[in-house]
Each structure stands twice: as C-alpha cells, then as structure tokens.
Amino acid sequence: MIARTLTPLFVLFGLIATGCSPLGLQIRLGPTKDPMVATGVLDVGEGSGKPSDRVALIVVRGLITDTPTTGFLGSSNAPLDDLTHQLRLAERDDKVRAVILRIDSPGGTVAGSETAYREVRDFAERTGKPVVASMGEIATSGGYYLALAADHIVAEPATLTGSIGVVIPSLNFSEGLGRLGIQSHFITSGPNKDLANPLAPVREGHYDILGGIVREYYASFLSLTLRRRPSLSPDAVTSATDGRVMTGDTAAAIGLVDSVGGVREAARQAMELAKIDRATVIRYGSRANAPRTAYTLADPPRPLAFESDQSINLLRFDGLSAGALGLRPGVGYYLWLP
C-alpha cells in the first residue's frame, strides 16, 4: 500500500472551513493491507435476535486471472488471490455454514478460470460447506465456468450468461510495417518457434496449431458443462454451447442455471443446502472499506490491465470495472468479447 496522510494542511483547512471542527483527510494510493474483517450485510430467515450461523458472500468481479491488476492508483491483488484468501477465511470460521459466490465477470484466462473452479470445488469437498453461485449483471464464459463449481446456480432475470467457448487473440502488423518499409527477421530453432508472430507474414499452419488448442480448450469446457449441468435440455445443448449469450431467464428455462433470483434467493438456497433456518450473510473487506450491504464492492473498483512489454488496449468494460481491459495476444481466454 502506498499511503500518504496530509494531516497538517488538511486539518488547517478544516479549521478554517468549519470554524472549530477539525477535519482530517487521508489519501491512499493503491490497495490497503488492512486485514479482512467479516461484516454482516443481510439477515435471512424467520425469528428475532441475531442468527448464530453465517453464510459468507464472496464477490468475484472483473477478469478472472492470477495476474495482479494495475492502474493509475497502483496495483491490486490478483482476483484468484482474493478468491482463495476469502475461501480460506470461510473455511476457518466454524460459524460459516455455506458460501455464496457473487459473480460479475465476463470471464478470464483459461488457466485462471480453471484454477478458480478447482479452488471452489476443493473448498466444497474439503469442508462439506455448500456453495451457491449468484450471478450479477454478467457471468459469461469463464464467469460461467466458475459458476459450474457451485452446487446450485442462481441468475438474476436480466443476467447475461453463457458464451461457452474459447478465444485466443491474435494480431498481425506485418503488412502495415511493410508499407512503411520496415522488415522483421526472426532466427528460430524450428518453423513453429515463432508461432503466430505478429511481425511476420501470416502462416496458416500456425493458425491451424492455435485452432487445435482452441478446440482442446473448448472440448474441456463443454465436457465440464455437460457433467455439472445434467439438467441441461438435450435439445438445447448445441445452441447453449455455441458461444452465444443469453439472459438469466433463458438460461434457467434450458437448464444452464438452476433458478432465477438475487442474493436473498441465493442465501435461502445456501441455507437449505446447509440445513439451517436462519443466518447472517457476511462480506469480507478491509477495515478501511468495510461493506455496507450485500451489493457493496469489498474494495473500490480498480482498472484492469495486463502487464507486458507492449500494452495494447483492445476494449473497455466500463460497466464491469473502472478502467480498460487489455488482452495478451496468444493467451487462451474463456471470455465474452461483445
């Protein structure tokens, strides 16, 4: 954390502006390192008094990757790091009887999405605590892949989900560079060592190799979907898995998700699976940014970016995160690109 407290100046300003009331202002640049605390955001069930049981609400937002995100105000933890850390907190808390994954993500890298899935399944199998996925505005591709780890999936009626498939971004600048009189030469140990080199002329054999990788990734995604969603209508398998997106209502009608509803409905489902009648839904967050409701971000949104020698911004997801989403050419993504 990069922190700067401008105490004397702002206390003086506060005294001038408010008369005798001191005003303190603290500016933090980058993520805080405050330990996460559990905050109750919702009580579910009948009866009076504070419920003794808890349901942990873990938010997975933005691109699912093991890469830390960076932006103007500094860097933040990798989404996978936040997810696994909060799962560990939920595992250690004996009062936590179930977990809700609140997913608001267009997807992520293939490796990141698969790792997140395994972490959630390992948690559920190791602890016996049920996991319910609650989809927010968007839970597509890798976001849906992660939802498959849950024991029950709840989507908002207007959620956009689906987009089951794979994309490997590839750019080629050789023709444009040639027009500028620029030529590139790569000395390689084999014909495929510079696979899909963006500075060399397009070679279809290279894209055949990448296409084979895409088909392998897709076969794995499809197999997992069919295994984890036995209720998926046989008549809808082809259309549901061809990469299209759909609303939560449609996904529920064909069996891609189990039911339609919000956080409250997901909490009730989690309680039913955990065999408890009342519970407090808790959120994990730093003391400086403690959540107030089930819909509050645990931390302020930060720009999403990928670090590389050369950064190319392809796309913005302003509705999903504060900043630009960059993709690394050659990396496989379970990701919806609208």
| Pick from 59, 156, 154: nearest CA to 104 | 59
Check if 141 is active-site.
yes
Task: Name the β-bridge partners of 154.
Answer: 134, 259
The single residue of 76, 105, 113, 141 carrying the catalytic annotation is: 141
Angle CA 44–50–55, to nearest 5: 45
Our answer to whether residue 275 is catalytic in this structure is no
CA 325-167-332 angle, 5° bins: 80
Q: 193, 223, 231, 311: which is the annotated catalytic residue?
A: 193
**94's tokens:** 């004996």
Q: Which residues are catalytic?
A: 141, 193
